[in-house]
Each structure stands twice: as C-alpha cells, then as structure tokens.
Amino acid sequence: MFNLQTMELEKLEGIATAVRRDILRMVAAVNSGHPGGSLGCTDFFVALYFDIMRRKTDENGNPIFDMDGHDEDLFFLSNGHISPVWYSVLARAGYFPLEELKTFRKLDSRLQGHPATAEHIPGVRIASGSLGQGLSVASGAAYAKKLNGDDKHVYVLMGDGEQQEGQIWEAAQFAPNKKLGNLTAIIDLNHAQIDGTTDNVNDNRDLGAKYRAFGWFVEEMNGNDMEEVIRTLRKAQEDPDVPTLILMHTEMGYGVDYMVGNYKWHGTAPNADQLQQALNGLPLSVGTTDY
Amino acid sequence: MKKYEYTDKKDTRSGFGAGIAELGKTHPNVIALTADLAGSLKLEAFIKEFPDRFIQCGIAEANMMGVSAGLTIGGKIPYATTFANFATGRVYDQIRQSIAYSNKNVKICASHAGLTLGEDGATHQILEDLGMMKMLPNMTVINPCDYNQTKAATIAIADHVGPVYLRFGRPVIPIFTPADQKFEIGKAWHVNEGDAVSIFCTGHLVWEAIKAGEMLSEQGIEADIINIHTIKPLDEEAILASVKKTGCAVSAEEHMINGGLGDSVAQVLARNYPAPLEYVGVHDTFGESGTPDQLMQKYGLTADKIVEQVKKVMARK
C-alpha cells in the first residue's frame, strides 16, 4: 500500500506553490505566455522531478545534465507552450539558477517562449511547440534505451487539444507495436484549448478507449492531487512490453481561483492587479522563496 | 576533355544500400528506419546482417522523423529512409522542429528524387526538396551523382555530427567515379579543366554534363566542369575560382530552378563576382508519367540542353 509521509507531501506542495508563483510572475513580466495549462500541470511536474524520476546528480545532489541521458529517466514536453512550469521546476530542481527565470521570453535568453535546445538550456533535449511531435520523439528515446540495455524510463506529457494532431496517432500505433514498456505518456486532460473547450472545437471523444484499442495500458488520475499523482506514476511502470497512457484530469489555472476552468487563461497573462490577487492566494511556505 | 568511361551501370539507391550495409559493420550505433519502403531503399543487406538495428515504421513518415530524433538522444545514428517526396515535403515541420532546430544527428536518406522516378508521375516526383532542405539552418544537403559516390557519401555522413539530407534516385546510370574514393562533405569534385565556361552540375546531371563536355570539346570549347555534390555547405571557393577563369557559368540539376543548386550559385556570383549564368533545371512546373529518359528529354535535363545553355551564356560574356 502506497504511503507517502505527510512531511514529504507538505514539502512537495510547498514547492508546487512556489512554482505557481513563478509561473504567474514569469508570464506577467513579459505580458505573454501560457499560465492556464502551466498551473494545471504544476503538481505533476513537481511530483515527477522531486519524487518519481531517477535523475543523475553529483556528490552534492545537484543534477548532472547530458544530452544522451544514459542511465537516467527522461522527460519530454510535447505541448511546449506550458514552458513556464517546466522552466520553474527545472530551476528549482537545480538544473540552472533560479534567477534565470527573469529572462523568460526575453531577447538573448536560454528560456525561449517554447522549449528549445539551440541555447543549450540544461534539462531540455528537444524543441517543442509545434504540436504533435513529442510522443514520437519520446518513443525514439525509449527505443534507444531498450537497444542500449538501459533500464530507465521515459515520460512524455501531451495536451488534450494536441490529441487532434495526426502524428500523435502514428506514434500511438508505433509504441505498443514496438513493445515500449519503458514509456509512459501523460495527457493533460483539462478540456480546454485556444478556441474553446475540446468538446466544442473538435471532440476527442473517448481517449482511453482509443489508446486501449491501440494497445496501451490506460490509467487515470487527478493531476491536482499530489498524492494520487505520485501513486499513479509509481504504478505505471509495471509491464515491460506495454507502454502506459495516463489520462490526467486537471483544472486549467488550478491554484488561482479566477482562472480555474476558464479557457481564456490558456494563453493570456494576468495584469498587475490580477497578479497581486493571484499571489495573495498562494502564500509561500517556510523554506521556499520567489526567484 | 578528360575521358570518362564506364563498364557498369547501377542505380544510386543501390549505392546507398551497399553503403549502409558496410557502415553497419564499423558503426554499431547506425540504425536504419523506413516507412514501408525497405526494398525500394535497398536495405535488404543491412536488415539481414543487423535485424535488431532496423526499425520498420510503417506508412507513418512524420512519426519516423520524430522517432529518429529521439533515437539520437540515446546516442544512435538513425538513417531515416523513404522516397524524397515523403522525406521532405510531407514532414517538413517535423524535420524543422525536431531535427534541424534541435540539431539532431539524423540522416534523412531520400530515394526516387526528381523526374527519373518515372511512371509514378508528379505526385511522387519531388523537384523542390533541395530547396526546402537547404533553407533549414544546421542541415547539410548532399546529392551524389553515381553508385560509387552515393556509397561513399552514405558512409561519410555517419562521421559528420548533425542533420544531413542525402538525396539519390531510382534509374540505372553509368558508374564513372572511383570505387575507392573518399567522400569529402562540402568539397566539390573537379571533373574537367577548361577555360571557356563553367558547368556546375549535381546528381544525375553530372553524367549529362560529361557528355556535354565531350560535345563541346569537339567544337573547340573546353568546359570547366565541377560536380557540386554538396549543395550545402556550398564550395564557394571552387565556384569562384572557376568563374574567375571562365567568366560565365551554367548550372545543371534534376530539380526546380527556384531554390536549387543554380540559385545557390547565383547568390555566390552576385555577392562576389557577377557573371552571366544560365540554368538547366525544371521551370516552375510539375512532372508527369513517362520513362525516365522521356521525361529528362521533355523537361530539358540533357547533355544537348547543357550545350545549348553553354552557347547562350558564352554569347553573353
């Protein structure tokens, strides 16, 4: 039976609050970026980097980043527009200095609007933003791990609007046929995309049934419940020949009351007053600071 | 005119197949991928020898490009193979984001390029691929001219770190370059020394340029013939040295004039040494069904056409 220590859980939730504050301040500073999906996926990112993934570190516990990523778990972000949450979590996990978050979306920054490798930001292994490509890339990385006899795991996060891209379904067919049991794909199921709800724009219908039919092991979880996220991700690595797909139910804008469930916050930054209001509702816990 | 003879004829795609099979022995990280075209790409020998290093992707080229990008992250050297049309136009955004912008060590190996694909017609006869690929930052673009050069290029690109587009074709053509050549990326091959006109040729048009050179030589015109097998990075030094000697040039390629080798040559000349230039290539039109020879005749990709353009450009000196 899964049992996360209360202390551990409180610590992760404290980090998640600090990350949510980073996201809001980052997008507000440049009046652009995508806060909605970033906030909704914050608990998942914190769970992944601070609990789930086996990452390479030096003797002081600081992360070591190399492009090949041999003998460590890998993460790919397919819906690259939620870069603020990833950058914040990478910085807080020690991949680069926290104050670098100030450069997000600015000229000469390593923190491009959408994740990229050209500026050599540690933690990022492929550019993403043009949707639908991450599942293929993660499948290739998982395939390479199998060829290399590397027993570590590959995770990839996708959006639910992104499921409308055709390439996703090419990859969805490929991964189970190649027995990529070392691959876990997560869909951020927040039912929102730029032009409205996913149901209205182009209904994805039953994604679980679709992936099951393609040969995936399908799980569901509440992506805004830290304990449930960790429990589900730990369970997801059981069958060596079957990739796992997790339908992660989240609320866009989670943690900021006026953003929750409103697709208008997909790609809109809060103004100064709205930012202050949001930060007031997310007090820092002991041991965390803003960038 | 230097004499070029051949004893054998083969398709350039077979040069690719032989090259990758040989590479498999020396480079354990080379992986071959295809999208339901293993036979057309002549991968049989590689698959037989290294079955675990072959990935059949099925008819899903976009996924194949993404999987290839992912494989490089595990240190692999993926050779992603299909027809040139499906290797470029169909998957341009996947190549742009996951391979070129991300600077991944993927070798995109494209067969059946251009009109010489023949009877299948214009849906499959891509004439825009060199242009699309050379516009991508980080991308190296190579278009070899015969079996031996294609084999040598296939082997050479494994040791070049970065994305490569390697373009070859279907028809059986003379083998006129040495079997033991060392392929140098970005270094043009001087086919013939001359001073009357420069001929910059690539791919299947190199043999046509040699035939044109012989015809011109009989008329007392010695052409400086240079094989530009690497479209990018372009050997600007070789181009300028030649045109400074001859004062005019003709480009020859099985590709659209817009965006092709001739366009690249024109840029070099315009910036450094303006001189008359004429083009042998396809003029803003799609192809059609026919035999390779019929198509090359109809669309003017022949030795006769090169001679005609040489006369035209020399009159402009």
pLDDT in tens, A60-80: 989 999 999 999 999 999 999
Structural domain count of chain A? 1
Query: Does residue A238 register a pLDDT over 80?
Result: no
Beta pairing partners, B114: none
Of residues A21, A77, A73, the one with CA closest to residue A45: A77
Report how many Cβ contacts below 8 Å link chain A to chain B. Answer: 116
The structure tokens listed for B273 are: 């040494």
d(CA A109, CA A99): 12
Kindly state the greatest CA–CA separation across chain B. Answer: 59
Q: Are A118 and B101 in contact (CB under 8 A)?
A: yes
At residue A3, the pLDDT reads 62
Q: What is the number of H-type helices and E-type strands within chain A?
A: 10, 7
**Within 10 A of B146 (CB to CB), how many other CB atoms are there?**
25
Determine phi and psi for B117, rounding to 5 degrees.
Answer: -60, -30
Q: Which residues of chain B have pLDDT under 50?
A: none
C-alpha pair distances (Å), B6 with each of A98, A218, B177? 65, 60, 9
Q: Which residue of B has its CA nearest to A166?
A: B62
Q: Does the CB of A78 have a partner CB in chain B at under 8 Å?
A: no
Please report whether residue A63 resides in a domain.
Answer: yes
d(CA B7, CA B176): 8
Report the gap between the CA of B61 and the closest CA in chain A (Å). Answer: 9
ipTM of the complex: 0.96
Q: For the purposes of burial, counting CB atoms within 10 Å of the CB of B282, is it exposed (0-12), middle (13-18) or buried (19 or more)?
A: buried
Q: Which residue of A has its CA nearest to B60?
A: A170
Q: Does the CB of A139 have a partner CB in chain B at under 8 Å?
A: yes
Q: Are B110 and B80 in contact (CB under 8 A)?
A: no
Report the gap between the CA of A2 and the closest CA in chain B (Å). Answer: 32
How many Å is the Cα radius of gyration of chain A? Answer: 18
Give contacts of B77 with chain A, Cβ < 8 Å: none
d(CA A227, CA B233): 53
Average pLDDT value for chain A = 96
Q: Which domains does chain B have, with CATH numbers?
A: 9-174 (3.40.50.970), 189-315 (3.40.50.920)
Q: Does the CB of A69 have a partner CB in chain B at under 8 Å?
A: yes
The structure tokens listed for B306 are: 């090169």
Count Cβ neighbours within 10 Å for each residue of A124-145 and write b for 16 or more, e otherwise. Answer: bbbbbbbbbbbbbbbbbbbbbb
Mean pLDDT of the A158-173 span? 98
CATH of the domain at A57: 3.40.50.970
**Of the listed ranges A116-130, A223-237, B261-275, the one predicted with least confidence:** A223-237
Please report whether residue A286 resides in a domain.
Answer: no
Annotated catalytic, B61? Answer: yes
pLDDT > 70 in chain A, percent: 99
Please report whether residue A1 resides in a domain.
Answer: no
Q: Does the CB of A137 have a partner CB in chain B at under 8 Å?
A: yes
At residue A1, the pLDDT reads 44
From the candidates B61, B208, B254, B278, which is the catalytic residue?
A: B61
Of A129, A140, A173, the CB nearest to B66: A140
Structural domain containing residue A154: 6-280
Report the gap between the CA of B50 and the closest CA in chain A (Å). Answer: 12
What is the per-residue pLDDT across A25-59, written as a single tens digit (0 to 9) for each? 999 999 999 999 999 999 999 999 999 999 999 99
Please report whether residue A285 resides in a domain.
Answer: no
Please report whether residue A86 resides in a domain.
Answer: yes
Give contacts of A171 with chain B, Cβ < 8 Å: 63, 66-67
What is the per-residue pLDDT across B189-229, written as a single tens digit (0 to 9) for each? 999 999 999 999 999 999 999 999 999 999 999 999 999 99
